[in-house]
Amino acid sequence: MRRSFALAMLLVLAFAGLALADALDLYKEGMRRLSAGDFKAAITLFGQAIDSGQIAPGSQLLYACHVNRGMAHANRQDYESALADYNAAIKIDPNLAVAYHNRGRIWHHRRKFDIAVADYDLAIALNPKYLGAYLSRAKAFEALGERVKAAADLARARQLDPKAQMPGF
């Protein structure tokens, strides 16, 4: 009896480990597909990882699945779904800048520049060396006619990375 119980426990633990590897494998394959430009497949894979129930709530893996699925949605011009994923990522970890920056880019695309600037501000507050957030905010400021603020962000971006390609206005 003890032997069969021990064997059963080993099988449960083995399958639990396999399940975690499966969610991680789905994420990794999603990243490969995202990098390759196969956004539809990436969305499916990230969704399967999220919905698997194998990723701990509040984990960085869950955050990454939502952010990257949001990026895939944005690349397919499904901005509502992208916003939903970025909002979910922010709920998981409101202290990471990437989701705020990416959400700001969606608002920027929708020409809601004030909302975009607010998200870029949050991203920069969380990560003062976030080059992409400065560049994006500079573009939003330019769209709002706030050239002095745009120039200040471009100057800060040059300080962060003198070789970075700066947008032309």
Q: How many other β-carbons are positioned within 10 Å of the β-carbon of residue 55?
A: 21
* Per-residue model confidence (pLDDT) at position 168: 64
Tokens 């990416």, residue? 102
* Per-residue model confidence (pLDDT) at position 169: 58
* Per-residue model confidence (pLDDT) at position 5: 33
Token pair belonging to 27: 């994420």
Tokens 């960085």, residue? 60
- Residue 137 · residue 124 · CB < 8 Å: yes
Question: At 81, which amino acid appears?
Answer: S
* Per-residue model confidence (pLDDT) at position 163: 87
Burial readout 17-48 (b: 16 or more C-beta within 10 A, e: otherwise) = eeeeeebeebbebbbebbeeeebebbbbbbbb
Quick one: CA torsion of 156, 157, 163, 164, rounded to 10 degrees?
Answer: -170
1-93 topology per CATH = 1.25.40
Tokens 């745009």, residue? 150
Q: Considering the chain, tell me which residue range(s) the CATH 1.25.40.10 domain(s) occupy.
A: 1-93, 95-169
* Per-residue model confidence (pLDDT) at position 21: 55
Tokens 């009896």, residue? 1
Q: Which helix (H) or strand (E) holds 120?
A: helix 113-126
Distance (Å, rounded) from C-alpha 79 to C-alpha 72? 10
Stated pTM of the model: 0.84
Q: At what angle do helices 131-143 and 97-109 cross, to 10 degrees?
A: 30
Strands (E), the chain: none
CATH number of the domain at 95-169, please?
Answer: 1.25.40.10
Specify burial of residue 131 (Cβ count, 10 A radius: 0-12, 13-18, 19+): middle
Question: How would you write the pLDDT of the chain (169 residues) with one tens digit per residue?
Answer: 444 433 333 333 333 343 445 999 999 999 999 999 999 999 999 999 999 999 999 999 999 999 999 999 999 999 999 999 999 999 999 999 999 999 999 999 999 999 999 999 999 999 999 999 999 999 999 999 999 999 999 999 999 998 888 776 5
